[in-house]
Amino acid sequence: MADAIGLLRPRTVIGPSLRAAGEWALRFDPFPHVRIGGLVQGTCWLLLDGHEPVRLRQGDTFMLGNPPPYVLASSPDVPPRPADPVQARAEDGLVRIGPESPDELYLCAGHIAFDDRNAALLTDLLPPLVTVHDTDPHGRPLAQLIELLATEVGSAAPGGPLVQNHLAQILLVHMLRARAAATDRPTGWLGALNEDGVGAALRAVHADIAHHWSLEELAEIGHMSRSAFAHAFKSHVGIPPLEYLIQWRMSLARDALARGTQSVSELARATGYRSESAFSTAFRRVVGASPSQFRNQAREVVA
């Protein structure tokens, strides 16, 4: 999981936090790629287009994957107003609605954006909404992380933005674990990591991407026959093992080319290809452009 999330180059923007009392409702515009947050205090409703309203209580956390418009409100019946103008009035990272009250809501949230070139590695696996309640098996650690994040947001201590960024990414990992644990048959690499045989093969591939992996080797790592392993892998991940290997190699290659950290010939060796020509052919098939074309396009975007 750490390999994939690191490859996504997450960028976190925390806040503004929200303190609200009385009747209120805020409508948020769509946001790529993930919004994540939780309730430090109080209760509210989360209303996502196409989903039943969800009541959130103190200690509950939520994650929105490429969400459509959604509403946070004191009650589902309150007419919402746009969130952007309200958040623009934030002071010291905090938005207040209504008078101060011992029973007011305190919500801490943030956005996590990824490198568009590889964002689909994660966002394609996420549902629009994941909620974890404080009483769930994974709930308490998540509630503690939200409390820590809220403390950092509310302090002016040195290094606060760095700590907030790392806490948000830890929160994301715990939410992904909770999502994988709560789904009976999750597909994609996220769910497959929890499967003994398939997960062991995935971890081996990620640990040594330059190795010339064969289906037989991967099946042996998973302690399965070739046919059983191939069937289980495709069932959990959604594509055959060697196709996944190619896709993962090309994801690493896109990232390295965009950042200019390796030459094409170095990338060919690092991703397990015996020649630059073989690597370039595979890259063009997956990405739709040659490695040099992709690198030049990435430089133009940066410029």
pLDDT, tens digit (0-9, with 9 covering 90-100), for 29-59: 887 888 999 999 999 999 998 889 999 999 9
265-292 mean pLDDT: 93
Q: Is the pLDDT of residue 295 over 80?
A: yes
Stronger pLDDT, 8 or 189, i.e. the higher one = 8
- Which part of the chain has CATH 1.10.10.60? 191-302
Give 158-171 pLDDT, tens digit per residue.
787 888 888 888 88
Angle between helices 241-259 and 196-207 (to 10 degrees): 30
Cβ neighbours of residue 176 closer than 8 Å, sequence gap 6 or more: 1, 190
- Give the span between the Cα atoms of 236 and 222, in whole angstroms: 14
In this prediction, residue 106 carries a pLDDT of 95
- Contact, 171 vs 146, CB < 8 A? yes
pTM of the model: 0.70
Cβ neighbours of residue 111 closer than 8 Å, sequence gap 6 or more: 12, 13, 31, 34, 35
Nearest one of 13, 17, 12, 11 to 155, comparing CA atoms: 17
In this prediction, residue 283 carries a pLDDT of 94
Nearest one of 29, 39, 27, 22 to 108, comparing CA atoms: 39
Residue 181 DSSP class? H
Q: Is the pLDDT of residue 127 over 90?
A: no
What's the CATH number for 191-302?
1.10.10.60
Nearest one of 287, 2, 190 to 271, comparing CA atoms: 287
- Contact, 56 vs 108, CB < 8 A? no
User: Highest mean pLDDT range out of 17-21, 172-176, 260-264?
Assistant: 17-21
In this prediction, residue 191 carries a pLDDT of 59
- Give the span between the Cα atoms of 200 and 131, in whole angstroms: 28
In this prediction, residue 62 carries a pLDDT of 93
Q: What is the mean pLDDT of the chain?
A: 86
Residue 9's pLDDT band (cuts 50, 70, 90): confident
- Which part of the chain has CATH 2.60.120.280? 2-182
| CATH 2.60.120.280 matches 2-182 | yes
